[in-house]
Structure 1
Amino acid sequence: MKIYVNIYSLFLIKLQLEQASMWTLDLSSSVNKEAGLSPGKFTEIYAEKQGKRRLKVEKKSKLPSTKRRRMQLKQERNLTQCASQALEGDTYQSEIGLEEQVDIEKIPDPVPRGNFKPVTIPSRAPSIVVFDLETTDLIRGRHMPHITQIAAVGLENDAIFNTYIIPKIPIRETAMEVTGIVVTAGKMTVHGKCVDAEDITSGLLKFLNWLQTYQNVILVAHNGRKFDFPVLMNTVKSLKQSKMLFQSVEGCIDSLSVFKKVFPGQTNYKQETLMSSILGQTYGAHDAKEDILALSLLLKEAKLSKSETLSFSFSPIAQHALRFSAEKAKNVPSLHHLIAQGILKHATAENFAGSGLNFQHLKKNFQRDGEDGLRAIFVQKNCDGQPRISAAKRILDSVIPKLVDLFEKQD
């Protein structure tokens, strides 16, 4: 009986709404007529359109897919709120000034890994420029080496750029042995021969100006993603010349990934090995000029179209990876005992550390919001819209309970 009464009540309410709508429509028509205005045809048409739109929205809101989407958005809002509470501590709460002891430590914002999706160049063809750097040392953690030589060549016109740079820090002995570059009393020699060299500011500006003679530049370097591009981007950033670089450079390519696909089954993918096994040639490796000429020959031998070449590219802005790598080097040591105990796999620990978090941040999050806080920090979105660590159910269900058990035992 109650069901029938409820249905009848709903019917009456709907009928009253329809009558009110019609009364409003009639009233607007009569007002228009008395004022000597339009008889209300446009109002009627607009009201009819709005009625159809309202019915369409109402019908769509009842679909299972729409309901699922609403639940998903609600869950994301809850996760965001939970993550904010865990990251900001008591400062996220109201009436904080009334508390005697306040937890004001803020967990760092997530550092993105970098977006390495292929770039697209809608107008004009890309200009492929091969380049190479020689430096004072390798990249060691957060410490970037200084550039000692920059060389580049246009793949189509074979125009060459080459310059030597006086570094501001000493050249490591192993680097001197490999490259032959030595600086003594401000003078540079290469394998015992004196060469003209300049400071990094003028040398870099010359290189950037040379790049601007090309349009839609795609820079190619062998093993560039792990070495040449981070070093170049770090140098450009420190000299505040990023804008000038981005004016000409549209993308970057690590030729290592190209050759692994085009020339599969090699014993290794060092540039000297590839030159020997594919072209049957040797060359003076670890001289930037010799390296770019060799790499340009290998790229020509690959015989890729420009569209195929672009499929290996990524934006120079993707060097978020610079900061990600620096944070990883800084934070991974604090997670070694979690890896040793089998709580975190090495890849997960690297993602965690690279995002800007260490073991103490994990512990602080658990103290603030328990298991929910740990889950929230794993799935928190970074500025690229990607999960801070992982949103995969398999990883969450495997890692989170182990962390909870660890922290509960410590308490």
Structure 2
Amino acid sequence: MRRAALDAKLCQPLVFFDLETTGLGPSCEIVQLAAVSRGHSLNLYTVPQCQMQLRAARMTGFRILGRRLYLHRQPVLTNSLREILVSFMAFLRMLGRPLLIGHNITRFDCPVLVRALNKLDLLAEFQSAISGCLDTLPLTREMLKDCSVQSFRQENLVNAILGVKYKAHNALEDVRALQMLYSVLQPTSELVCRFTFCFG
């Protein structure tokens, strides 16, 4: 029975997701939400209620001017926060209650997402759209503990393992890179189960 459960966990659909936000503090807000699952992708932007922190603006290239969002000085099409969260849930449902995967999501992305969902009374609906969450930060620390990896930041892992440099701090580029990294690392079903946690 345990083996069947592990095999089912390994075969379930996977969705890699990432957020770009107005900063790194506890009150930061979502600016970009991206997700990929094999050939399917989602990339949405929203204008936050608060201003971008200077460090976050420098890292991501986002600016807010006159209630419009700009990325590297180019205007981007935005939706309301509710619209992007509802679209994300529709994306997840299309894939059949997938496992939600991200890097450092336990401490950052999931709490930000939970706060946004709670604000709009969408948390229970979101929880029913996924089977669980997997944080690749502790997962890769465990898998690569005997290797000479200098840093477990995602861009460093992608460079060290795949030999690839990419535009980090863009949610869509981040999730595409994480999907590639995960497919190369191929964690066992036991490890996936060990590091899977409940959302919210």
The answer on 1:225 being equivalent to 2:111 is: no
Corresponding position: 1:151 with 2:25 = no
Change (3 A) 1:177 1:123: closer
Equivalences for residues 249-398 of structure 1 within 5 A? 249-264=130-145, 265-317=148-200
Aligned to 1:171: 52
CA contact (8 A) 1:125 1:216 kept: no
Code of the aligned partner of 1:134 = E
Q: Is the 8 A contact 2:6 2:190 kept in 1?
A: no
Question: Could you tell me how far apart the structure 2 residues matched to 1:302 and 1:122 are?
Answer: 19
Query: What TM-score does the superposition give when structure 1 sets the normalisation length?
Result: 0.45
Residue 15 of structure 2 corresponds to which residue in structure 1? 129
1:144: Cα distance to partner? 2.0
Q: Which residue of 1 aligns with 2:76?
A: 195
Q: Deviations over 1:193-221 (max 9, x none)?
A: 12101111111111111111112321111
After superposition, the C-alpha distances for 1:359-403 in whole angstroms (9 at most, x for unaligned) are xxxxxxxxxxxxxxxxxxxxxxxxxxxxxxxxxxxxxxxxxxxxx
> AA paired with 2:172?
K
Letter of the structure 1 residue corresponding to residue 12 of structure 2: P
AA matched with 1:309? V
Computed over aligned residues only, the root mean square deviation of the Cα atoms, in angstroms, reads 2.0
**RCO greater where, 1 or 2, for CA within 8 Å and sep 6 or more?**
2
- Please tell me whether Structure 1 or Structure 2 has the larger radius of gyration of its CA atoms: 1
Deviation at 1:244, TM superposition (A): 1.3
Deviations 1:281-300 (A, max 9, x none): 10000000000011111101
1:138 lines up with 2:24 in the alignment: yes
Counterpart in the other structure of 1:101? none
* 2:117 aligned counterpart, secondary structure: helix
Distance 1:236 1:188 in 2: 21
Query: Partners in 2 of 1:176 and 1:255 — Cα distance?
Result: 25
Partner SS state of residue 172, structure 2: helix
User: 2:96 aligns to what SS in structure 1?
Assistant: coil
Deviation at 1:311, TM superposition (A): 2.2
User: Aligned-pair distance for 1:275?
Assistant: 1.3
Sequence identity, in percent?
Answer: 28
The structure in which a higher percent of residues are helix is 1
Partners of 2:131 and 2:122 in 1: CA distance:
15
Question: Please, which runs of 5 or more residues in structure 2 have no aligned partner?
Answer: none
The secondary structure found in structure 1 opposite 2:94 is: coil
Structure 1 regions of 5+ residues with no counterpart? 1-118, 318-411
What SS class does the counterpart of residue 128 from structure 2 fall into?
helix
Output the CA distance in 2 between the equivalents of 1:301 and 1:177.
Answer: 31
CA shift digits 1:147-204 (9 cap, x unpaired)? 00000011xx331110011101111111111100111112211111121011111111
Contact 2:7 2:189 in 1 (8 A): no
What is the aligned counterpart of 2:66 among 162, 172, 185? 185
Task: Work out the CA distance in 1 between the residues paired with 2:6 and 2:128.
Answer: 15
Aligned match of 1:215: 96
Q: TM-score, normalised by structure 2?
A: 0.90
Q: 1:189 to 1:282 in 2, by over 3 A?
A: same
Q: In structure 2, how many angstroms separate the alpha carbons of the residues matched to 1:236 and 1:189?
A: 24
Q: 1-side partners of 2:78 and 2:128: how far apart? A: 26
